[in-house]
Amino acid sequence: MKNMVIMPNSVTGYHWTGPSLTTDQKNVPVAAGLPKIFWCKQMTYPDDLPQISVVFIFVNEALSVILRSVHSVVNHTPSHLLKEIILVDDNSDNVELKFNLDQYVNKRYPGLVKIVRNNKREGLIRARIQGWKAATSPVVGFFDAHVEFNIGWVEPALTRIKEDRKRIILPAIDNIKYNTFEVQQYANAAHGYNWGLWCMYIIPPQDWLDKGDESAPIRTPAMIGCSFVVDREYFGEIGLLDPGMEVYGGENIELGMRVWQCGGSMEVLPCSRVAHIERTKKPYNNDIDYYAKRNALRAAEVWMDDFKSHVYMAWNIPMANPGVDFGDVSERIALRQRLQCRSFKWYLENVYPEMRIYNNTVTYGEVRNSKASGYCLDQGAEEDDKAILYPCHGMSSQLVRYSSEGVLQLGPLGSTAFLPDSKCLVDDGKGRTPTLKKCEDVLRPAQRFWDFTQNGPIISRDTGRCLEVEMSKDANFGLRLVVQRCSGQKWMIRNWIKHGRH
Ligand code: UDP
Ligand code: MN
């Protein structure tokens, strides 16, 4: 795993910054003979490619940035292939995006640009659908309105779709630095996600790496979302994006699950490159986490079968009464039935085998002790490997997972093989302090097994000692977590999982 391009999950946004190609890809095998930059240049494409409609969506974007995207697509797309550009204004209140924008594009590119105005904010998901409705070419490309297109970006994408209309094509994404507008080339990556359905760049599949051909399409389980190209009618047939999703997030993962489960595919095309400004702050909402969670639950309920429990677990919320209204998913379930799509298990095995599966979970969530009301078990500072008690807040540092084997894990789910998993609570029999260790590093496996029943003690199977709370003046909040001779303290955990068949 030397050529990692995995970016950590974050709650601030979903396009992670990645290392540049030159430093990051030293270890990636390069096809013998030619430097890889020539591979894409040497490809040839059919003459009779279908035309594309390019859709940009925006809300309160800078006018100059939108125009930059428009100029770039005009300048770097052969004119006979670019049928139209569709600008979807998702109800911006910025005045320069009204008359000034209209006037500029109509003068500069007469007849080429259509502008669609939403008279209320629809969110990025329905804004993209509006763009699709206005499009008339056989192929449609969807982009954020702060991108630049590299030379030759469209031909490989159209070729792959012409060969097979069920392919969703993702141009490889590079970064435009938001403060200098310098383009930074990223390592070639697939697009994955964690169980919270936040996306991240992941290492391409092993067979792609083994091939050593940097121009070959990269199978990808999902998409980052700021750039994708699809056959217009096929996109309609498989149900566009989920129009019940609001504002931001989740739609990019849902489309990945859906296209694979319903007989299509998704791939990153390294020879088709689009650069995107990674912003540090959204100019529209500051609560996109809430919408990402809500939209993730829709995807989970429709596509993930029994694995949906993993999404609830990742967000550390109960499955019954999660406190989030994700709306009505019945039409999306009907769509899945109509298209006769495969199971999520099939998708995991065939498309996203790097996902870590937590089917042995019996309970999860916040864990409280009757002696310390308002306090929860917490993984504490990541470096110091000590579980602590901390005021309950329900975030993932207080996610406790108890498995049918008796393992107690604290902290956010590792989710994929690309990231370390949450640590195991251990009674090593030495002092009175329980520790957190990488589960595979525990020398005597018995040290990580506990008996835990609801409203009962937590007992180490190895030492017979109990996990308990001790009042102590010199501990944080006056509470210390210890392992000691059982005195009858009781613990409560929030959520129980009932698993059906898989
Ligand atoms: N967007 C929109 N309506 C919304 C939210 C976002 O049209 O309610 C657009 C936004 O202008 C951008 C795209 O959706 O073109 C993706 O959003 P953003 O670039 O903020 O997400 P990021 O790329 O930072 O994850
Ligand atoms: Mn963006």
Domain ranges in the chain?
14-277, 361-496
* Atom in ligand 1 nearest the alpha carbon of residue 143: 15
Query: Is 361-496 the same fold as 14-277?
Result: no
Q: In whole angstroms, how large is the CA radius of gyration of the chain?
A: 25
pLDDT digits (tens, 9 = 90+) for 330-376: 999 999 999 999 999 999 999 999 999 999 999 999 999 999 989 99
pLDDT of residue 32: 44
Our answer on whether the CB atom of 28 is closer than 6 Å to any ligand 1 atom is no
Our answer on whether the CB atom of 376 is closer than 6 Å to any ligand 1 atom is no
Nearest ligand for residue 224 CA = 1
Asked if pLDDT for residue 410 goes beyond 60, the answer is yes
More confident of the two residues 20 and 302: 302
Our answer on whether the CB atom of 131 is closer than 6 Å to any ligand 1 atom is no
Give the distance (Å) from ligand 1 centre to CA of residue 318.
29
Give the distance (Å) from ligand 1 centre to CA of residue 251.
12
Share of the chain above pLDDT 70, in %: 91
Arithmetic mean of pLDDT over the chain: 91
Contact 338, 239 (CB under 8 A): no
pLDDT of residue 148: 98
User: In this structure, what token pair is assigned to residue 287?
Assistant: 């609560």
Average pLDDT score over residue span 173-199: 96
Nearest residue (by CA) to ligand 1, atom 2, is 124
**How deeply is 93 buried, as exposed, middle or buried, from its count of CB atoms within 10 A (0-12, 13-18, 19+)?**
exposed
pLDDT of residue 38: 64
- One-letter amino acid at 480 equals R
Nearest residue (by CA) to ligand 1, atom 16, is 144
Average pLDDT score over residue span 229-258: 98
* Atom in ligand 1 nearest the alpha carbon of residue 122: 8
pLDDT of residue 18: 36
Give the distance (Å) from ligand 2 centre to CA of residue 143.
8
Which residue has 């969506």 as its token pair?
57
3-state secondary structure 195-246: CCCCEEEECCCHHHHHHCCCCCCEECCCCCCCEEEEEHHHHHHCCCCCCCCC
Give the distance (Å) from ligand 2 centre to CA of residue 487.
55
Nearest residue (by CA) to ligand 1, atom 10, is 58
pLDDT of residue 384: 84
Our answer on whether the CB atom of 226 is closer than 6 Å to any ligand 1 atom is yes
Our answer on whether the CB atom of 87 is closer than 6 Å to any ligand 1 atom is no
- E strand or H helix at 160: helix 154-163
Our answer on whether the CB atom of 414 is closer than 6 Å to any ligand 1 atom is no
* Atom in ligand 1 nearest the alpha carbon of residue 146: 15
Residue 498: pLDDT band with limits 50, 70, 90: low
* Atom in ligand 1 nearest the alpha carbon of residue 90: 7
Average pLDDT score over residue span 389-393: 96
Nearest residue (by CA) to ligand 1, atom 8, is 123
- One-letter amino acid at 66 equals I
- One-letter amino acid at 82 equals L
Does the reported pTM lie above 0.75? yes
**Collapsed DSSP state (helix, strand, coil) of residue 87:** strand
Alpha-carbon separation of residue 288 from 127, 340, 341, 419, 479 (angstroms): 16, 32, 30, 24, 35
Nearest residue (by CA) to ligand 1, atom 13, is 144
**Residue 392: which of 365, 418, 417 has the closest Cα?**
365
Give the distance (Å) from ligand 2 centre to CA of residue 145.
7
pLDDT of residue 193: 98
Our answer on whether the CB atom of 174 is closer than 6 Å to any ligand 1 atom is no
Interacting residues of 463 by C-beta distance below 8 A, sequence separation 6+: 427, 429, 483
3-state secondary structure 301-358: HHHCHHHHHHHHHHCCCCCCCCCCCCCCCHHHHHHHHHCCCCCHHHHHHHCCCCECCC
3-state secondary structure 219-232: ECCCCCCCEEEEEH
Choose the CATH number for 14-277 among 3.40.640.10, 3.90.550.10, 1.20.5.510, 3.40.225.10: 3.90.550.10
Nearest residue (by CA) to ligand 1, atom 19, is 144
Nearest residue (by CA) to ligand 1, atom 12, is 144
361-496 under CATH 3.40.50.261, yes or no: no
Measured distance CA(456)–CA(465) in Å, rounded: 14
Asked if pLDDT for residue 495 goes beyond 50, the answer is yes
Our answer on whether the CB atom of 178 is closer than 6 Å to any ligand 1 atom is no
Q: Which residues face 422 on adjacent strands?
A: none
Our answer on whether the CB atom of 406 is closer than 6 Å to any ligand 1 atom is no
pLDDT of residue 39: 83
Our answer on whether the CB atom of 461 is closer than 6 Å to any ligand 1 atom is no
* Atom in ligand 1 nearest the alpha carbon of residue 278: 24
Contact 485, 465 (CB under 8 A): yes
Our answer on whether the CB atom of 251 is closer than 6 Å to any ligand 1 atom is no
**Residue 450: which of 474, 437, 467 has the closest Cα?**
467
Share of the chain above pLDDT 90, in %: 86
Average pLDDT score over residue span 471-478: 91
Query: Angle at which helices 251-261 and 123-134 pack, to 10 degrees?
Result: 60
Q: Which residues face 228 on adjacent strands?
A: 142
pLDDT digits (tens, 9 = 90+) for 137-158: 999 999 999 999 999 999 999 9
Which residue has 């500072």 as its token pair?
381
**Residue 139: which of 97, 83, 187 has the closest Cα?**
83
pLDDT of residue 23: 30
Nearest ligand for residue 283 CA = 1
Asked if pLDDT for residue 266 goes beyond 90, the answer is yes
Our answer on whether the CB atom of 57 is closer than 6 Å to any ligand 1 atom is yes
pLDDT of residue 496: 82
Give the distance (Å) from ligand 1 centre to CA of residue 182.
21
Our answer on whether the CB atom of 15 is closer than 6 Å to any ligand 1 atom is yes
pLDDT digits (tens, 9 = 90+) for 9-47: 322 223 333 333 333 333 333 334 444 556 888 899 999
pLDDT digits (tens, 9 = 90+) for 303-333: 999 999 999 999 999 999 999 999 999 999 9
